[in-house]
Structure 1
Amino acid sequence: MKLRLFGALAVCTSCGLFAQQTPTQTKQDSIESLNEVVISAKVLLGSKFEAQNRTGSAYYISPAELKQHNYTDINRVFNSVPGVNVYEEDGFGLRPNISLRGTSPERSSKITIMEDGVLIAPAPYSAPAAYYFPNVARMEAVEILKGSSQVQYGPFTSGGAINFVSTPIPTAFSGSVLATYGSFNTSNLHVKAGNSHKNFGYMLEYQNYRSNGFKDLDNGGDTGFDKDDLVAKFKVNTNPEAKIGQELEFKFQYSDETSDETYLGLTEADFSQNPFRRYAASQKDQMNAEHLQFMATHILAFSDYFKITTTGYYNEFSRNWFKLNDLNANGARVNLTNLLEDPASFPEAYSIITGVSNSDANALRMKNNNREYTSKGVQTKFDYHWYTGTVFHDLEVGMRYHYDEEDRFQWVDTYDITNGIMTLNTAGTPGTDANRISDANAFASYVLYKIKFNNWTFTPGLRYENITLGQQNYGTSDLNRTGSNLTEKENKVDVFIPGIGFNYRFDNNFNVFGGVHKGFSPPGNSAGEKPEESINYELGSRFNFLGFAGEVVGFYNDYSNLLGSDLAATGGTGSLDQFNAGEVEVKGLELLLNYDILSGRSTNFRIPVNFSYTYTHTEFKNSFESGSEIWGVVEEGDEMPYIPNHQFFAGIGLEHAKFAVNLNGRYRGEFRTIAGTGEIPANYKVDSNFIVDLSAKYHLNSNFSFTGNIINALNNEYAASRVPSGLRPGHPFGAYIGINARF
């Protein structure tokens, strides 16, 4: 590791880290004892170094780690990160369900998700369920924050924050082309190029990711998707020698998706016979979505010690998931979840969805889940750091005004099915199923103070959220929204969210950190509905001993009021109404170990070994009824659904300057889909699974590389989830090859 000194600023030329020197430091100091300055407004961490020196638990997935496997599935990217629980839904990671430290994982709606430091969920306050999720295959890095150091980022502070760092504008002309192809006619094309000059820079990026899908639709047809992603960035800046430095960067992002995805899973018997089957009644199911982002970031650098960063952003997301909602059989409407859990009780309905029997006219009710989202705001951050003797101080103050809304304008079309083919009978009228707007106005601010003296670091912080949540329901008869049948809701929240963390460094190989902070999630828009609140604790250590580098953390989250959500994605009605779940305890252990078998030996090879483990225990401290299709009847002592007790990841690689081979294994323990305790009933259980992936690279020269990936190398057939309706499989064996050209 090499350091170059520029006045008070030290720069690691081998890794790009910046560190602030104290007046007493010399060139011989190790980088571990330097104080890092803020690198970019668009990142939470910016480096492995910063993640390993936080006063709270953090993880930085570096560009090298992302390129190791070239994963396009965010679920697989997170496999190696302790404290992150995910359950799959479609096998490709199109709409992940992510939990941090036991938060409810449904549609990742209880964590703060950002891209380049900006809230990126469709409507983060009023409708945070992540039906749009950034494409990890185009990202430069991924950052995960847990614990007390996340009070800078909200509104969700119960579990943590995830920030996706998009491709930056390069410092010199460069670019790359990555093209892969493999099983199920799956392809990924990723092209990017950019350059910087003295006073301006640019970057253009395009990605197309598509597949025919691995499921077998009755009577044939695609079950895959086609996604496009376009990003353009342009910046102008003052001369490097300017007394006050300024930079203005514009970002444009557009993506679209057409995916032949469904909410309709399989019965237990059919899954056992062929887990990749899809019933005939799902043949018309399709998601169509578009996402648009405009973002402008201005940086005003008065010195290396004082910087003001301001960002304005505007996001639009529209989607219509056209899918089977329910059906009529024997003169009665049949719920899909009930049907697939107990097909023997609904023989006629089962024969209809499988295409075995012809249906009556208008038997299949296909819902147009048409929604449009807007999310916009402006945020600014002041960062100032200084010294008093050898004591380092850093004061960060941030503010954000944000507005978002979800506009539902939905309708139902009805079909019949004859000889396995569906035919439209009655086209519904838009707005006759749902016709309402939910919105949120939010002002957030925070103060975070960092002080370093001797081997101690303390970071007390305070966040403030002022939120007004509303809904205007025009009713299913007022399609022009004249207000003739308008009903309105409003709920206001005003909350302070404190937190404090510490870090004590015994030496460069061992430190202890911990903290306590308030967990918070916004409530719904019903008057008087309470927010989610908890007090969260963590205590951990980072170490480097006999070549083993790692981290061990214990955490305890004490919820005074947990919020659940009525999401169609988890078998509910899809109203998005939240309900109070009362007191809950979540506790667990996170372990991370890294070791290079050949470390310290004179060789051109590396054999890195990685291991991570997460234990999570959840327990309701009171009884209540959530609804049979959400969490069921909850009794005191029950465990939360969708959270496995155990999961681990193990990886080993063989790396050389010319090639690299990496083998990973991921175990995910069984979990329940309805709250309960003891042995999980078979019809509410998702079994444990162990999945092995393999990747390889060969570098022909500095400009060309060949890549290969095998997903699920052992071809294990496993259930990824039971929700929304019925069992659905994970990705089967898949082989992919590619070429990466750099210039």
Structure 2
Amino acid sequence: MLIQDIFAENNTNPSQEILENIIITGTVEDVAGSANVIDTKELQKFSASDVLRVLQSVPGTYIQEEDGFGLRPNIGIRGSGIDRSGKIALLEDGVLIAPAPYTASSAYYFPTQRRMSSIEVLKGPSSVIVGPRTTGGVINFISTPIPESKGSNAMIDMRTGTHDTTDTHVYLGHRGNRLSWLIETAQMKSKGFKLIDVPDGLNQKSSGYDIQDYMLKLQYDNDVSEEIYHSLRIKLGSTQQTSNETYLGLTATDYRLNPYRRYAASSRDQFNGDHEQIQVSYVLDSNNNWRTEVTYYDNDFHRDWFKLQSINGKSQSAILNNPDVYATEYDYITGDADSADDIIKLRHNNRFYNSQGIQGNISYNFDLTDIDFTMRAGFRIHEDYEDRKQNEDGFRMEKRELVLTSLGIPSSKTNRFSKSEVTSYFLDAKVSVGNFILTPGVRVEDIENVRYDYATSDPDRMNEPTKIKTRSESVTIPGMGILYKLDNNTRLLGGIHKGYQPPGAGSKARPEESINVEIGARVSSSRGKLDAIYFLNNYNNIVGTVTASTGGSAEIGAQYDGGKAIVKGLELNAAYNFSVTDTLHMPLQIQYTLTSEYEFHSTFSSGFDGWGDVLKDDEMPYIPKHQMRISATLENEHYSFNLASNYIGKRRSVAGQGNHIESETIPGQLVWDGIARYNFTD
């Protein structure tokens, strides 16, 4: 059920700004670098709640499915690495949104896709102004705006589906003369599609999720008759998620028999997350040639992922990779055998995060004879932290059910606090002269981070830390884009910038650095477009980070230098609108990414499972050589049919070369999406 655009009046006040914190200004066609915008109309075609499905329409973007719902997306850009989206800059309304963007960038919190009205993806030199992660690029999620037209606007979108899935998105907003507002909620539930082994006679346990998301926006503008426009904007958000997700997989044999099975030992695995955000912005606009904006932001996030840690002292991966060697432990996992007390350990991966700061920018437009200039300068004063207080509880397996046998002491497994303090500045320009557009830019980052390790026997941290690790980084990140208009329909573009990833708090690894180059063309007409861009990321040092999701023999968060590496390829984005009849149209879109090379150029050993022992010319894991999306729509003023096919080629799960080993290969996949609509009213 969908109800929208009620109460809306038709008079828009041109003096009041309605745009959220966007990065791309002007048209995408005139951006001197690789940039993509998924607008509201495109998002509404499939109304996907899984951001991974949405981003497959952006060439050069890589994804890795995990839970099937997109709850904790793994996203990379141009071979940057995909694990927990930790190597790209994630923003919501222009503000860094990862739990601790500098200290611990893994995105265990992710913006709720149903609240988004558009998405910006920047992959070239235009990503320099955002920072700090410029190796891959930037994804900026634009949330539902306050209504554009004067008056009120409401929308209700309710859905239901298999596995007791429900999805509700509601908002109500009002645009007034001076005071405007929006209230919004997204409520999503599902029992999940995986089947957990349970004792005979008991009902199936949920493997799904429950998400509750709330948003409030307020905007107060000065009188429209005043010469300079002033606007105060406040955004408050709260998101709670409970998801019965696990890292426990299946043996190869069990997977072939039933890929949707979950072992009994994962029955208590559960992720609980609570995210609160505050954003306050003040805008000054001369309505002529200058504009400035300052934003204060504060994001709090707490999560506790209670999940299986070990069985009889053995890791999950060791048991599942060698079920015959660890036959007893395998029987405990499946529930086929009862165990003694405390044989099975579940860990509270309990972590607290905060990210706060103030950022601002000022832009100024002016002309010098036949040259148009737009100068922009900005700053960000930022600090974030991650606080880990983790412990384990003991269980026994009894008749395929986990029975609690001991409670762990708080912080008895991990007790550490890490934080970062950052000051950054950027300066960029857009210079339009004749048929050329030049966009030079530079960013400076000064980063101070520290990690305090406390004794696991000191949960209240009454004593001094057992170890303190400090690190300072100061880096200058330049970039340059150029665009040339051959005619009204054809543009050539190129760009070069420094790729940079700051090391994590307490890391001994060097910063990740690369030289990134792109060159391409854009061709457009009234009916279609074609973008073709070649990209090259030449790493001087590539860095891998150990996480629980990727595995590894080292401490979670440890980083490893991978030395020199190359990622290069071609991105194609084509669209054409066919007219079947005067009233019936068929828009067709094709996005294709060819990653022709994605190799390490060094030999080294690491404790990062995805890399392991690497030989020169090994291919990187989780990067497909081919990926493609084709979508077609058949529409008129009353109805529409949308169909999309999403293909991702095979990729390695471990670095290697030559023929793919089956146990270290993720097969190619083809996923179809389809949706039909009929409008009962105009």
- Output the TM-score relative to the length of structure 2: 0.95
> Partner amino acid for 2:75?
I
* One-letter amino acid matched to 2:559: Q
Shift in alpha-carbon separation, 1:476–1:554, aligned structure 2, 3 A: same
Instruction: State the SS of the aligned residue for 1:582.
Output: coil
Kindly state the Cα deviation for residue 413 of structure 1 after the two structures are TM-superposed.
Answer: 0.4
**Contact 2:507–2:559, Cα closer than 8 Å, also in 1:** no
Q: Deviations over 1:534-573 (max 9, x none)?
A: 0000001001369541100000000001111010011235
Matched, 1:577 2:554: no
User: Where does residue 93 of structure 2 map in the other structure?
Assistant: 116
Identity of aligned residues (%): 37
1:485: Cα distance to partner? 4.5
Alignment of 1:483-494 (within 5 A): 483-494=463-474
For residues 158-182 of structure 1, the C-alpha deviation after alignment (integer angstroms, 9 at most, x for no partner) is: 0100000011111331010000000
Match of 2:220 among 230, 236, 253: 236
Say if 2:294 is the partner of 1:310: yes
Read off the aligned partner of 1:285 and give its amino acid letter: D
Q: Write the letter of the residue equivalent to 1:104.
A: G
Are 1:45 and 2:24 an aligned pair? yes
The Cα shift of 1:303 comes to 3.2
1:606 aligns with 2:585: yes
The structural deviation recorded for 1:44 is: 1.3
Q: Secondary structure at the match of 1:103?
A: coil
Alignment deviations for residues 421-455 of structure 1 (CA, whole Å, 9 cap, x no partner): 10001100111011111100001110001100111
Residue of 63, 77, 87 corresponding to 1:100 = 77
Amino acid in structure 1 at the alignment position of 2:679: H
The equivalent residue for 2:330 is 350
- Taking the aligned partners of 1:52 and 1:344, their CA distance within structure 2 comes to 58
Task: State the match for 1:382 in structure 2.
Answer: 362
1:266 aligns to 2:250 (yes or no): yes
**Structure 1 residues 80, 485: CA separation in 2 closer, same or farther (over 3 Å shift)?**
closer
CA distance in 2, matches of 1:569, 1:208: 27
Match of 1:194 in 2: 173
Contact 1:264–1:324 (Cα < 8 Å) also in 2? yes
Partner-residue secondary structure (3-state), 1:337 = helix
SS at match of 2:556: coil
> Following the alignment from structure 1 to structure 2, what is the Cα–Cα distance between the partners of residues 412 and 528?
28
1:491–1:529 CA contact under 8 A, matched in 2: no
SS of equivalent residue, structure 1 residue 52: helix
Which residue does 1:223 correspond to in 2? Answer: 207
Aligned residue in 2 for 1:693:
673
**Alpha-carbon distance in structure 2 between the residues aligned to 1:107 and 1:58:** 22
Q: Which residue of 2 aligns with 1:137?
A: 114
Letter in 1 for 2:169: H
d(CA) in 2 for partners of 1:136 and 1:51? 22
Q: Does the residue aligned with 1:272 lie in a helix, a strand or coil? A: helix
SS at match of 1:68: helix
1:325 is aligned, of 304, 309, 318, to: 309
Asked if the contact 1:622–1:635 (Cα under 8 Å) also holds between the matched residues in 2, the reply is: yes
Residue pair 1:491, 1:524 contacting (<8 A) in 2 also: no
- Aligned-partner residue type, residue 332 of structure 2: I
Aligned to 1:7: none
CA contact (8 A) 1:297 1:312 kept: yes
C-alpha separation in 1, matches of 2:478 and 2:660: 38
Per the alignment, do residues 546 and 305 of structure 1 end up closer, same or farther by CA in structure 2, a change over 3 Å counting?
closer
Q: 1:646 to 1:51 in 2, by over 3 A?
A: same
Deviations 1:209-260 (A, max 9, x none): 1100000111120000000000001111111221111000000000001111
SS of 2:52's partner is: helix
Deviation at residue 629 of structure 1 after TM alignment: 2.9
- Alpha-carbon distance change, 198 to 485 in structure 1, aligned in 2, over 3 angstroms: closer
Contact 1:478–1:485 under 8 Å retained in 2: no
User: 8 Å contact 1:236–1:249 — kept in the other structure?
Assistant: yes
Counterpart of 1:165, as a letter, is I
Deviations 1:43-99 (A, max 9, x none): 1126xx622211010100000111111100001001111000001100000001001
Counterparts of 1:675-714 in structure 2, within 5 Å, are 675-702=655-682
Letter in 1 for 2:129: Q
The residue type equivalent to 2:209 in the other structure is: F
Q: Distance in 1 between matches of 2:678 and 2:395?
A: 52
Paired with 1:602 and 1:316, the residues of 2 have a C-alpha distance of 53
Distance 1:175 1:555, change over 3 A: same
Q: CA deviation at 1:122?
A: 0.2
Question: Quick one: which amino acid aligns to residue 115 of structure 2?
Answer: R
Q: Using the alignment, how far apart are the partners of 1:40 and 1:160 within structure 2?
A: 22
Residue in structure 1 matching 2:576, options 583, 587, 595: 595
What is the aligned partner in structure 2 of residue 88 from structure 1? Answer: 65
Helix, strand or coil at the partner of 1:241: coil
Deviations, residues 136-187 of structure 1 (Å, cap 9, x unaligned) = 1111101100111111111000010000001111133101000000011111
Aligned to 1:558: 538
Which of 160, 164, 170 matches 2:137?
160
Q: Structure 2: any 5+ residue segments left out of the alignment? A: 1-9, 199-203
Instruction: Look up the match of 1:657.
Output: 637
User: Structure 1 residues 390 and 61, CA, compared in 2 at 3 Å: closer, same or farther?
Assistant: same
CA positional deviation for 1:696: 1.1
Check whether the contact 2:610–2:621 (CA below 8 A) recurs between aligned residues.
no
1:503-551 CA distance string (max 9 Å, x none): 0011121110011000001012337642110000000100136954110
Tell me the amino acid that sits aligned with residue 94 of structure 1. L
| Residues 138 and 545 of structure 1: CA distance in aligned 2, closer, same or farther (over 3 Å) | closer
Q: Secondary structure at the match of 1:256?
A: strand
Match of 2:341, SS state, is: coil
Residue matched to 1:495: 475
Q: Judge conservation of contact 1:369–1:410 (CA < 8 Å) in 2.
A: yes
**1:56 maps onto 2:33 in alignment:** yes
> Deviating runs (4+, > 6 A) in structure 1?
none
Of 342-351 and 496-505, the range deviating more from structure 2: 342-351
What's the offset of the Cα at 1:41?
Answer: 6.0
Which residue identity lines up with residue 125 of structure 1 in the other structure? Y
Other-structure match for 2:611: 631
Q: Does the C-alpha gap of structure 1 residues 527 and 609 become closer, same or farther in structure 2, counting only changes over 3 Å?
A: closer
Secondary structure class of the residue paired with 2:659? coil
- Alignment map for 1:162-181 (pairs within 5 Å): 162-171=139-148, 172-181=151-160
**Residues in 2 aligned to 1:642 and 1:475: alpha-carbon distance in whole angstroms:** 37
Q: Aligned match of 1:184 in 160, 163, 167?
A: 163
RMSD of aligned alpha carbons: 1.8
Contact 1:410–1:432 (CA<8 Å) still a contact in 2? yes
| Whole-angstrom CA distance in 2 between matches of 1:135 and 1:593 | 28
Measure, in 2, the Cα distance between the counterparts of 1:345 and 1:39. 63
Name which of structure 1's ranges 619-628 and 436-445 shifts more when overlaid on structure 2. Answer: 619-628
Instruction: Note if contact 2:638-2:680 (Cα within 8 Å) is conserved in structure 1.
Output: yes
Structure 1 residue 672 corresponds to structure 2 residue 652: yes
> What are the ranges of 5 or more consecutive residues in structure 1 without an aligned counterpart?
1-13, 19-37, 703-743
Partner residue in 2 for 1:732 = none
Q: CA deviation at 1:634?
A: 0.5
1:710 corresponds in structure 2 to none
- Asked if the contact 2:508–2:559 (Cα under 8 Å) also holds between the matched residues in 1, the reply is no
Distance 1:440 1:131 in 2: 18
In 2: Cα distance, 1:241 partner to 1:528 partner? 58
Higher mean alpha-carbon deviation, 316-325 vs 295-304, is at: 295-304
Matching of residue 434 in structure 1 with residue 451 in structure 2: no
Q: Paired residue for 2:281, among 297, 307, 314?
A: 297
- Separation of aligned partners in 2, 1:630 and 1:588: 22
CA 1:574–1:687 in structure 2 vs 1: closer, same or farther (change >3 Å)?
Answer: farther
Letter in 2 for 1:553: I
Instruction: Supply the distance in 2 between the matched residues of 1:523 and 1:628 (Cα, whole angstroms).
Output: 15
Greater RCO, CA 8 A, separation 6+: 1
